[in-house]
Protein backbone atom coordinates (compact mmCIF):
# COMPACT_ATOMS: atom_id res chain seq x y z
CA UNK A 1 0.00 0.00 0.00
CA UNK A 2 1.42 3.43 -0.90
CA UNK A 3 2.19 5.97 1.82
CA UNK A 4 -0.80 8.22 2.51
CA UNK A 5 1.13 10.97 4.19
CA UNK A 6 4.33 12.08 5.89
CA UNK A 7 4.23 13.90 9.20
CA UNK A 8 6.56 15.31 11.81
CA UNK A 9 4.69 13.25 14.36
CA UNK A 10 1.88 10.68 14.50
CA UNK A 11 -0.04 10.34 17.76
CA UNK A 12 -1.91 7.05 18.20
CA UNK A 13 -5.05 7.24 20.36
CA UNK A 14 -7.32 10.27 20.74
CA UNK A 15 -8.13 10.02 24.44
CA UNK A 16 -7.19 12.86 26.75
CA UNK A 17 -3.45 12.12 26.59
CA UNK A 18 -3.17 11.75 22.83
CA UNK A 19 -5.40 14.76 22.16
CA UNK A 20 -3.33 17.06 24.40
CA UNK A 21 -0.07 15.71 22.93
CA UNK A 22 -1.29 16.37 19.39
CA UNK A 23 -2.43 19.87 20.41
CA UNK A 24 0.99 20.67 21.92
CA UNK A 25 2.77 19.41 18.80
CA UNK A 26 0.58 21.55 16.56
CA UNK A 27 1.24 24.54 18.84
CA UNK A 28 4.93 23.89 18.17
CA UNK A 29 4.19 24.09 14.43
CA UNK A 30 4.71 20.36 13.89
CA UNK A 31 2.77 18.64 11.14
CA UNK A 32 0.79 16.18 13.24
CA UNK A 33 -1.63 13.31 12.59
CA UNK A 34 -3.87 11.98 15.40
CA UNK A 35 -5.17 8.47 14.71
CA UNK A 36 -8.13 6.94 16.58
CA UNK A 37 -9.56 3.45 16.17
CA UNK A 38 -13.18 4.41 16.95
CA UNK A 39 -15.48 7.09 15.53
CA UNK A 40 -15.12 10.17 17.75
CA UNK A 41 -16.50 10.84 20.29
CA UNK A 42 -16.70 7.34 21.79
CA UNK A 43 -17.25 5.69 25.17
CA UNK A 44 -15.00 2.64 24.80
CA UNK A 45 -11.80 3.89 26.48
CA UNK A 46 -10.96 5.83 29.64
CA UNK A 47 -11.56 9.51 28.83
CA UNK A 48 -15.33 9.66 28.24
CA UNK A 49 -17.98 10.89 30.68
CA UNK A 50 -19.05 14.31 31.78
CA UNK A 51 -16.78 14.88 34.77
CA UNK A 52 -13.40 14.22 36.32
CA UNK A 53 -11.96 15.43 39.60
CA UNK A 54 -9.06 17.89 39.47
CA UNK A 55 -7.12 18.28 42.70
CA UNK A 56 -3.80 19.24 44.19
CA UNK A 57 -4.45 16.91 47.14
CA UNK A 58 -2.14 13.94 46.57
CA UNK A 59 -0.14 11.64 48.76
CA UNK A 60 3.07 12.61 46.92
CA UNK A 61 4.59 16.02 46.28
CA UNK A 62 5.45 15.30 42.65
CA UNK A 63 1.82 15.22 41.52
CA UNK A 64 1.01 18.38 43.49
CA UNK A 65 3.96 20.12 41.81
CA UNK A 66 2.85 18.96 38.35
CA UNK A 67 -0.62 20.28 39.09
CA UNK A 68 0.67 23.84 39.64
CA UNK A 69 1.54 24.26 35.96
CA UNK A 70 -1.27 22.01 34.83
CA UNK A 71 -3.93 24.28 36.36
CA UNK A 72 -2.45 27.18 34.38
CA UNK A 73 -2.57 25.11 31.19
CA UNK A 74 -6.24 24.24 31.80
CA UNK A 75 -7.00 27.94 32.34
CA UNK A 76 -5.11 28.87 29.15
CA UNK A 77 -7.17 26.39 27.15
CA UNK A 78 -10.40 27.78 28.64
CA UNK A 79 -9.29 31.27 27.68
CA UNK A 80 -8.14 30.32 24.20
CA UNK A 81 -11.35 28.42 23.40
CA UNK A 82 -13.72 30.70 25.32
CA UNK A 83 -15.27 27.68 27.04
CA UNK A 84 -15.59 26.80 30.75
CA UNK A 85 -13.92 23.50 31.51
CA UNK A 86 -13.50 23.71 35.30
CA UNK A 87 -15.74 24.36 38.25
CA UNK A 88 -14.33 24.81 41.74
CA UNK A 89 -16.07 22.65 44.36
CA UNK A 90 -13.29 21.84 46.79
CA UNK A 91 -12.24 18.26 47.53
CA UNK A 92 -12.93 16.72 50.90
CA UNK A 93 -10.32 14.09 51.80
CA UNK A 94 -11.30 11.73 54.60
CA UNK A 95 -9.49 8.76 56.09
CA UNK A 96 -8.39 7.19 59.34
CA UNK A 97 -6.58 10.01 61.17
CA UNK A 98 -3.68 7.74 62.07
CA UNK A 99 -3.31 6.10 58.64
CA UNK A 100 -0.25 6.79 56.51
CA UNK A 101 -2.30 7.53 53.41
CA UNK A 102 -4.51 10.19 55.03
CA UNK A 103 -1.52 11.80 56.76
CA UNK A 104 0.37 11.98 53.45
CA UNK A 105 -2.54 13.74 51.74
CA UNK A 106 -2.72 16.23 54.59
CA UNK A 107 1.00 16.90 54.83
CA UNK A 108 1.40 17.28 51.04
CA UNK A 109 -1.25 20.01 51.08
CA UNK A 110 0.37 21.72 54.07
CA UNK A 111 3.96 21.50 52.78
CA UNK A 112 2.99 22.87 49.39
CA UNK A 113 0.89 25.66 50.85
CA UNK A 114 -2.22 24.62 48.95
CA UNK A 115 -5.24 26.60 50.24
CA UNK A 116 -6.92 24.14 52.59
CA UNK A 117 -9.11 23.74 55.65
CA UNK A 118 -8.78 21.05 58.31
CA UNK A 119 -12.19 20.04 59.67
CA UNK A 120 -12.80 18.60 63.13
CA UNK A 121 -15.51 16.24 64.34
CA UNK A 122 -17.08 19.26 66.04
CA UNK A 123 -17.40 21.48 62.98
CA UNK A 124 -17.63 18.85 60.19
CA UNK A 125 -21.44 18.63 60.06
CA UNK A 126 -21.81 22.39 60.01
CA UNK A 127 -19.65 22.54 56.82
CA UNK A 128 -20.68 19.24 55.18
CA UNK A 129 -24.08 18.15 56.47
CA UNK A 130 -24.52 15.49 53.74
CA UNK A 131 -21.75 13.15 54.93
CA UNK A 132 -21.24 11.35 58.24
CA UNK A 133 -17.57 11.43 59.17
CA UNK A 134 -16.62 8.01 60.55
CA UNK A 135 -15.32 7.71 64.08
CA UNK A 136 -11.53 8.07 64.05
CA UNK A 137 -11.44 9.69 60.60
CA UNK A 138 -9.75 12.97 59.83
CA UNK A 139 -11.04 15.43 57.22
CA UNK A 140 -9.29 18.08 55.19
CA UNK A 141 -10.53 20.15 52.24
CA UNK A 142 -8.36 21.07 49.23
CA UNK A 143 -10.04 24.36 48.35
CA UNK A 144 -8.46 24.56 44.88
CA UNK A 145 -10.02 21.30 43.69
CA UNK A 146 -13.10 20.86 41.55
CA UNK A 147 -14.66 19.32 38.51
CA UNK A 148 -13.36 19.17 34.93
CA UNK A 149 -16.02 18.85 32.25
CA UNK A 150 -14.31 15.88 30.64
CA UNK A 151 -16.28 15.25 27.42
CA UNK A 152 -16.36 18.97 26.72
CA UNK A 153 -12.60 19.26 27.35
CA UNK A 154 -11.84 16.45 24.93
CA UNK A 155 -13.97 18.01 22.22
CA UNK A 156 -12.35 21.41 22.75
CA UNK A 157 -8.75 20.25 22.71
CA UNK A 158 -9.37 18.24 19.53
CA UNK A 159 -11.06 21.28 17.96
CA UNK A 160 -8.13 23.56 18.92
CA UNK A 161 -5.70 21.00 17.47
CA UNK A 162 -7.59 21.04 14.16
CA UNK A 163 -7.70 24.85 14.18
CA UNK A 164 -3.90 24.79 14.40
CA UNK A 165 -3.79 22.67 11.23
CA UNK A 166 -3.67 19.24 12.90
CA UNK A 167 -5.30 16.25 11.20
CA UNK A 168 -7.54 13.76 13.03
CA UNK A 169 -8.44 10.48 11.36
CA UNK A 170 -10.92 8.46 13.38
CA UNK A 171 -12.17 4.96 12.64
CA UNK A 172 -8.54 4.15 11.75
CA UNK A 173 -7.13 1.41 13.91
CA UNK A 174 -3.35 1.21 13.88
CA UNK A 175 -2.37 -2.37 13.16
CA UNK A 176 1.40 -2.10 12.91
CA UNK A 177 4.28 0.17 13.86
CA UNK A 178 7.59 -0.32 12.07
CA UNK A 179 10.42 1.40 13.95
CA UNK A 180 13.23 3.21 12.13
CA UNK A 181 14.67 6.71 11.68
CA UNK A 182 11.34 7.31 9.94
CA UNK A 183 8.56 5.33 11.68
CA UNK A 184 5.97 3.60 9.50
CA UNK A 185 2.46 3.32 10.92
CA UNK A 186 -0.08 1.06 9.22
CA UNK A 187 -3.85 1.24 9.65
CA UNK A 188 -6.54 -0.71 7.83
CA UNK A 189 -6.91 2.35 5.60
CA UNK A 190 -3.32 3.11 4.74
CA UNK A 191 0.31 3.62 5.63
CA UNK A 192 1.74 6.79 7.17
CA UNK A 193 5.26 7.87 8.00
CA UNK A 194 6.65 10.24 10.62
CA UNK A 195 9.88 11.35 12.26
CA UNK A 196 8.39 10.34 15.61
CA UNK A 197 5.38 8.48 16.98
CA UNK A 198 3.62 8.90 20.31
CA UNK A 199 1.61 5.92 21.59
CA UNK A 200 -1.25 6.99 23.86
CA UNK A 201 -3.48 3.99 23.38
CA UNK A 202 -4.83 3.61 26.92
CA UNK A 203 -5.97 0.06 27.65
CA UNK A 204 -4.66 -1.10 24.24
CA UNK A 205 -1.06 0.10 24.82
CA UNK A 206 0.54 -3.34 24.96
CA UNK A 207 -1.20 -4.45 21.78
CA UNK A 208 0.52 -1.59 19.94
CA UNK A 209 3.86 -2.10 21.65
CA UNK A 210 4.13 -5.80 20.77
CA UNK A 211 5.51 -5.20 17.24
CA UNK A 212 8.18 -2.98 18.81
CA UNK A 213 9.32 -5.77 21.15
CA UNK A 214 8.13 -4.12 24.36
CA UNK A 215 5.63 -5.34 26.94
CA UNK A 216 4.68 -3.17 29.92
CA UNK A 217 3.24 -4.61 33.16
CA UNK A 218 -0.20 -3.04 32.70
CA UNK A 219 -3.46 -4.37 34.13
CA UNK A 220 -6.74 -3.25 32.59
CA UNK A 221 -9.77 -3.15 34.88
CA UNK A 222 -13.38 -2.27 34.23
CA UNK A 223 -14.82 0.42 36.48
CA UNK A 224 -18.52 0.51 37.29
CA UNK A 225 -19.36 4.22 37.19
CA UNK A 226 -22.26 4.46 39.62
CA UNK A 227 -24.76 7.28 40.08
CA UNK A 228 -26.95 7.42 43.22
CA UNK A 229 -30.25 9.27 43.48
CA UNK A 230 -30.79 12.04 46.03
CA UNK A 231 -33.73 11.42 48.38
CA UNK A 232 -34.42 15.16 48.28
CA UNK A 233 -33.95 16.71 44.81
CA UNK A 234 -31.24 19.37 44.56
CA UNK A 235 -29.67 18.52 47.92
CA UNK A 236 -26.20 17.28 46.81
CA UNK A 237 -25.28 19.70 44.02
CA UNK A 238 -22.49 22.26 43.88
CA UNK A 239 -25.07 24.94 44.74
CA UNK A 240 -25.73 23.07 47.99
CA UNK A 241 -21.97 23.09 48.62
CA UNK A 242 -21.60 19.34 48.27
CA UNK A 243 -17.90 18.92 47.44
CA UNK A 244 -16.03 16.31 45.48
CA UNK A 245 -14.68 13.82 48.00
CA UNK A 246 -12.20 10.99 48.45
CA UNK A 247 -12.27 8.47 51.27
CA UNK A 248 -8.72 7.13 51.34
CA UNK A 249 -9.69 3.97 53.18
CA UNK A 250 -12.53 2.96 55.42
CA UNK A 251 -14.48 0.25 57.15
CA UNK A 252 -15.68 -1.04 53.78
CA UNK A 253 -12.39 -1.17 51.92
CA UNK A 254 -8.72 -0.36 51.55
CA UNK A 255 -9.21 1.33 48.15
CA UNK A 256 -10.47 4.88 47.67
CA UNK A 257 -14.15 5.64 47.36
CA UNK A 258 -14.75 8.95 45.61
CA UNK A 259 -17.67 11.17 44.71
CA UNK A 260 -18.74 14.10 42.56
CA UNK A 261 -21.74 16.43 43.17
CA UNK A 262 -25.05 15.85 41.41
CA UNK A 263 -24.69 18.50 38.68
CA UNK A 264 -23.71 15.90 36.07
CA UNK A 265 -27.07 14.14 35.81
CA UNK A 266 -29.62 16.19 37.78
CA UNK A 267 -30.47 14.42 41.01
CA UNK A 268 -27.70 11.84 40.70
CA UNK A 269 -24.44 11.85 42.63
CA UNK A 270 -21.50 9.97 41.09
CA UNK A 271 -19.84 7.74 43.68
CA UNK A 272 -17.36 5.11 42.55
CA UNK A 273 -14.90 2.58 43.84
CA UNK A 274 -11.31 3.15 42.78
CA UNK A 275 -10.81 -0.43 41.57
CA UNK A 276 -12.46 -2.95 39.31
CA UNK A 277 -12.02 -6.41 37.85
CA UNK A 278 -9.62 -7.34 35.11
CA UNK A 279 -10.90 -7.13 31.56
CA UNK A 280 -9.86 -7.37 27.95
CA UNK A 281 -10.54 -3.85 26.58
CA UNK A 282 -12.43 -5.31 23.61
CA UNK A 283 -14.60 -7.46 25.92
CA UNK A 284 -15.27 -4.81 28.57
CA UNK A 285 -19.01 -5.39 28.72
CA UNK A 286 -18.57 -9.09 29.37
CA UNK A 287 -16.99 -8.25 32.72
CA UNK A 288 -20.00 -8.26 35.05
CA UNK A 289 -18.41 -8.28 38.52
CA UNK A 290 -20.40 -5.96 40.83
CA UNK A 291 -18.64 -6.60 44.15
CA UNK A 292 -17.51 -2.95 44.13
CA UNK A 293 -21.15 -1.87 44.06
CA UNK A 294 -21.81 -3.86 47.27
CA UNK A 295 -18.95 -1.97 48.93
CA UNK A 296 -20.37 1.36 47.76
CA UNK A 297 -23.87 0.46 48.95
CA UNK A 298 -22.60 -0.33 52.44
CA UNK A 299 -20.71 2.97 52.55
CA UNK A 300 -23.70 4.97 51.35
CA UNK A 301 -26.00 3.37 53.93
CA UNK A 302 -23.52 4.23 56.67
CA UNK A 303 -22.28 7.69 55.65
CA UNK A 304 -24.50 9.28 52.97
CA UNK A 305 -28.05 9.03 54.38
CA UNK A 306 -29.42 11.52 51.82
CA UNK A 307 -28.88 9.06 48.92
CA UNK A 308 -30.90 5.99 47.92
CA UNK A 309 -28.43 3.10 48.34
CA UNK A 310 -29.27 1.48 45.02
CA UNK A 311 -27.40 2.68 41.91
CA UNK A 312 -29.76 4.56 39.57
CA UNK A 313 -27.33 4.46 36.63
CA UNK A 314 -24.24 2.32 36.06
CA UNK A 315 -21.91 3.21 33.20
CA UNK A 316 -18.56 1.66 32.26
CA UNK A 317 -15.02 2.92 31.99
CA UNK A 318 -11.54 1.40 32.23
CA UNK A 319 -8.39 1.98 34.23
CA UNK A 320 -4.99 0.91 32.90
CA UNK A 321 -2.99 0.24 36.04
CA UNK A 322 0.76 0.05 36.56
CA UNK A 323 2.01 -1.99 39.55
CA UNK A 324 2.96 1.20 41.48
CA UNK A 325 0.06 3.32 40.08
CA UNK A 326 2.52 5.87 38.67
CA UNK A 327 2.28 6.81 34.99
CA UNK A 328 4.50 5.75 32.11
CA UNK A 329 5.85 8.81 30.28
CA UNK A 330 9.03 7.81 28.50
CA UNK A 331 10.79 7.01 25.25
CA UNK A 332 10.79 3.42 24.02
CA UNK A 333 13.94 1.74 25.44
CA UNK A 334 15.12 0.71 21.95
CA UNK A 335 13.75 3.50 19.73
CA UNK A 336 14.08 7.05 20.98
CA UNK A 337 11.64 8.39 18.37
CA UNK A 338 8.81 6.22 19.72
CA UNK A 339 7.36 7.84 22.83
CA UNK A 340 4.92 6.19 25.22
CA UNK A 341 2.23 7.68 27.48
CA UNK A 342 0.46 4.85 29.29
CA UNK A 343 -0.67 3.37 32.60
CA UNK A 344 -2.50 6.45 33.86
CA UNK A 345 -3.89 4.23 36.61
CA UNK A 346 -7.27 5.89 37.05
CA UNK A 347 -5.97 9.34 37.98
CA UNK A 348 -4.58 10.81 34.77
CA UNK A 349 -7.27 13.04 33.31
CA UNK A 350 -6.49 16.16 35.35
CA UNK A 351 -2.86 15.97 34.15
CA UNK A 352 -3.80 15.83 30.44
CA UNK A 353 -2.38 19.25 29.52
CA UNK A 354 0.97 18.76 31.25
CA UNK A 355 1.36 15.14 30.11
CA UNK A 356 0.64 16.35 26.55
CA UNK A 357 3.39 18.93 26.93
CA UNK A 358 5.86 16.32 28.27
CA UNK A 359 5.08 13.76 25.54
CA UNK A 360 5.49 16.51 22.97
CA UNK A 361 8.88 17.46 24.42
CA UNK A 362 10.05 13.82 24.41
CA UNK A 363 8.92 13.32 20.82
CA UNK A 364 10.87 16.43 19.74
CA UNK A 365 14.00 15.11 21.48
CA UNK A 366 13.90 17.96 24.03
CA UNK A 367 14.84 17.70 27.69
CA UNK A 368 11.49 17.32 29.49
CA UNK A 369 10.38 20.19 31.77
CA UNK A 370 10.26 17.86 34.79
CA UNK A 371 12.41 15.06 36.15
CA UNK A 372 10.46 12.06 34.92
CA UNK A 373 12.24 9.37 37.00
CA UNK A 374 8.94 8.33 38.61
CA UNK A 375 7.45 7.61 35.17
CA UNK A 376 10.37 5.72 33.56
CA UNK A 377 9.98 2.28 32.03
CA UNK A 378 13.24 1.06 33.63
CA UNK A 379 11.51 1.02 37.03
CA UNK A 380 9.72 -2.17 35.96
CA UNK A 381 12.90 -4.08 35.24
CA UNK A 382 13.43 -6.94 37.67
CA UNK A 383 15.75 -5.94 40.48
CA UNK A 384 18.80 -8.26 40.69
CA UNK A 385 18.59 -10.59 43.67
CA UNK A 386 21.04 -9.61 46.41
CA UNK A 387 23.96 -11.98 46.81
CA UNK A 388 23.45 -14.39 49.68
C1 LIG B 1 -14.53 5.93 35.95
C2 LIG B 1 -13.28 6.73 35.85
C3 LIG B 1 -13.11 7.83 36.66
C4 LIG B 1 -11.95 8.58 36.60
N5 LIG B 1 -11.84 9.68 37.39
C6 LIG B 1 -10.78 10.48 37.26
C7 LIG B 1 -10.72 11.69 37.96
O8 LIG B 1 -11.66 12.04 38.67
N9 LIG B 1 -9.65 12.49 37.78
C10 LIG B 1 -8.62 12.14 36.98
O11 LIG B 1 -7.67 12.90 36.88
N12 LIG B 1 -8.64 10.98 36.29
C13 LIG B 1 -9.69 10.15 36.41
N14 LIG B 1 -9.76 9.00 35.70
C15 LIG B 1 -8.62 8.56 34.89
C16 LIG B 1 -8.54 9.21 33.53
O17 LIG B 1 -9.81 9.36 32.97
C18 LIG B 1 -7.60 8.37 32.66
O19 LIG B 1 -6.35 8.27 33.32
C20 LIG B 1 -7.40 8.98 31.29
O21 LIG B 1 -8.63 9.22 30.66
C22 LIG B 1 -6.56 8.05 30.42
O23 LIG B 1 -6.50 8.60 29.12
P24 LIG B 1 -5.73 7.90 27.93
O25 LIG B 1 -5.68 8.91 26.84
O26 LIG B 1 -4.47 7.28 28.43
O27 LIG B 1 -6.65 6.66 27.51
P28 LIG B 1 -7.97 6.61 26.60
O29 LIG B 1 -8.89 7.69 26.92
O30 LIG B 1 -8.51 5.22 26.69
O31 LIG B 1 -7.43 6.88 25.15
C32 LIG B 1 -6.75 5.91 24.40
C33 LIG B 1 -7.30 5.97 23.00
O34 LIG B 1 -6.49 5.18 22.14
C35 LIG B 1 -7.33 4.60 21.18
N36 LIG B 1 -6.63 3.45 20.59
C37 LIG B 1 -6.25 2.33 21.21
N38 LIG B 1 -5.65 1.49 20.35
C39 LIG B 1 -5.66 2.10 19.15
C40 LIG B 1 -5.21 1.72 17.85
N41 LIG B 1 -4.64 0.52 17.63
N42 LIG B 1 -5.36 2.59 16.85
C43 LIG B 1 -5.94 3.81 17.05
N44 LIG B 1 -6.42 4.19 18.26
C45 LIG B 1 -6.27 3.36 19.29
C46 LIG B 1 -8.54 4.21 22.01
O47 LIG B 1 -9.67 3.93 21.23
C48 LIG B 1 -8.71 5.42 22.90
O49 LIG B 1 -9.55 6.38 22.31
C50 LIG B 1 -10.91 8.22 35.72
C51 LIG B 1 -11.07 7.10 34.90
C52 LIG B 1 -12.24 6.36 34.95
C53 LIG B 1 -12.38 5.16 34.07
O1 LIG C 1 -7.94 11.12 40.17
C2 LIG C 1 -8.93 11.39 40.84
O3 LIG C 1 -9.03 12.47 41.40
C4 LIG C 1 -10.03 10.38 40.97
C5 LIG C 1 -10.55 10.31 42.36
C6 LIG C 1 -9.76 9.44 43.22
C7 LIG C 1 -9.55 8.15 42.64
C8 LIG C 1 -9.20 8.21 41.25
N9 LIG C 1 -9.57 9.16 40.49
Q: Ligand 2 centroid to 370 CA: how many Å?
A: 22
Residue 117 pLDDT? 98
> Mean pLDDT throughout 209-219?
96
Which CATH superfamily, name and number, covers 91-143+219-321?
Answer: D-Amino Acid Oxidase, subunit A, domain 2 (3.30.9.10)
Tens digit of each residue's pLDDT (9 = 90 or more) over 313-335: 999 999 999 999 999 999 999 99
Within its chain, how far is the Cα of 343 from the centroid?
Answer: 9
Q: Has residue 108 got a pLDDT over 50?
A: yes
Residue 294 pLDDT? 96
Tens digit of each residue's pLDDT (9 = 90 or more) over 221-272: 999 999 999 999 999 999 999 999 999 998 888 889 999 999 899 999 999 9
Ligand nearest to the backbone CA of 40:
1
Residue whose CB lies within 8 A of the most ligand 2 atoms, among 16, 249, 274, for a mutation test: 274
Tens digit of each residue's pLDDT (9 = 90 or more) over 146-204: 999 999 999 999 999 999 999 999 999 999 999 999 999 999 999 999 999 999 999 99
Tens digit of each residue's pLDDT (9 = 90 or more) over 29-44: 999 999 999 999 999 9
Q: Do domains 3-47+151-214+326-378 and 91-143+219-321 have the same CATH topology?
A: no
Tens digit of each residue's pLDDT (9 = 90 or more) over 81-96: 999 999 999 999 999 9
Burial (CB < 10 A; 0-12, 13-18, 19+), residue 213, is exposed
- Strands 277-278 and 3-12 turn out to be unpaired
Residues with CB under 6 A from ligand 2: 53, 55, 246, 256, 258, 274, 346-347
Class of domain 3-47+151-214+326-378: alpha beta
Domain coordinates in residue numbering, the chain: 3-47+151-214+326-378, 91-143+219-321
Q: What is the largest CA-CA distance in the chain?
A: 71
Residue 201 CA, closest ligand 1 atom number: 34
> Mean pLDDT throughout 113-127?
97
Q: 7-41 b/e with 16+ CB inside 10 Å = b? A: bbbbbbbbbbbbbbbbbbbbbbebbbbbbbbeeee
Ligand nearest to the backbone CA of 56:
2
Q: From atom 1 of ligand 2, which residue's Cα is the shortest distance away? A: 347
Ligand nearest to the backbone CA of 352:
1
Q: Ligand 1 centroid to 19 CA: how many Å?
A: 11
Q: Ligand 1 centroid to 345 CA: how many Å?
A: 9
Tell me, using a 6 A CB cutoff, whether residue 359 lines ligand 1.
no
Tell me, using a 6 A CB cutoff, whether residue 225 lines ligand 1.
yes
Sequence-distant contacts of 310-314: CB under 8 A, at least 24 apart: 310/228, 310/229, 311/224, 311/226, 311/227, 311/228, 312/227, 312/228, 312/229, 312/268, 313/226, 313/227, 313/265, 313/268, 314/224, 314/225, 314/226, 314/227
Cα–Cα–Cα angle for 266, 304, 126, rounded to 5 degrees:
95
Tell me, using a 6 A CB cutoff, whether residue 13 lines ligand 1.
yes
CB 34 within 8 A of CB 18: yes
Q: Ligand 1 centroid to 273 CA: how many Å?
A: 17
The interface pTM score, or ipTM, of the predicted complex is 0.99
Q: Ligand 2 centroid to 310 CA: how many Å?
A: 22
Residue 253 pLDDT? 80
- Please count the residues of the chain: 388
- pTM of the predicted model over 0.90: yes
The torsion angles phi and psi of 239, rounded to 5 degrees, stand at: -65, -25
Residue 2 pLDDT? 66
More confident residue, 388 or 201: 201
Q: Ligand 1 centroid to 349 CA: how many Å?
A: 8
Residue 258 CA, closest ligand 1 atom number: 8
* Nearest residue to 212 (alpha-carbon basis) of 177, 180, 245, 181: 177
Amino acid sequence: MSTKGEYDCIVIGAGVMGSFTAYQLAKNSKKTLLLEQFILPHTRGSSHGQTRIIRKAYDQDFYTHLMEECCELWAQLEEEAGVKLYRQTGLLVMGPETSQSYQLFKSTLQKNKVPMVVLTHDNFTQHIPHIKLAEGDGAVVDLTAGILYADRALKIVQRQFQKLGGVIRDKEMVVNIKPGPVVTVSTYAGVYQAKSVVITAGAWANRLLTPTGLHLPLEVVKINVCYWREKVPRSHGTNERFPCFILTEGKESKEHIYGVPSDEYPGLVKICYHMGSETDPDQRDRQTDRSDIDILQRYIVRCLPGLIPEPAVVESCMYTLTPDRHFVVDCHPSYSNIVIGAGFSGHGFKFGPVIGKLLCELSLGQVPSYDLSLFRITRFQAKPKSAL
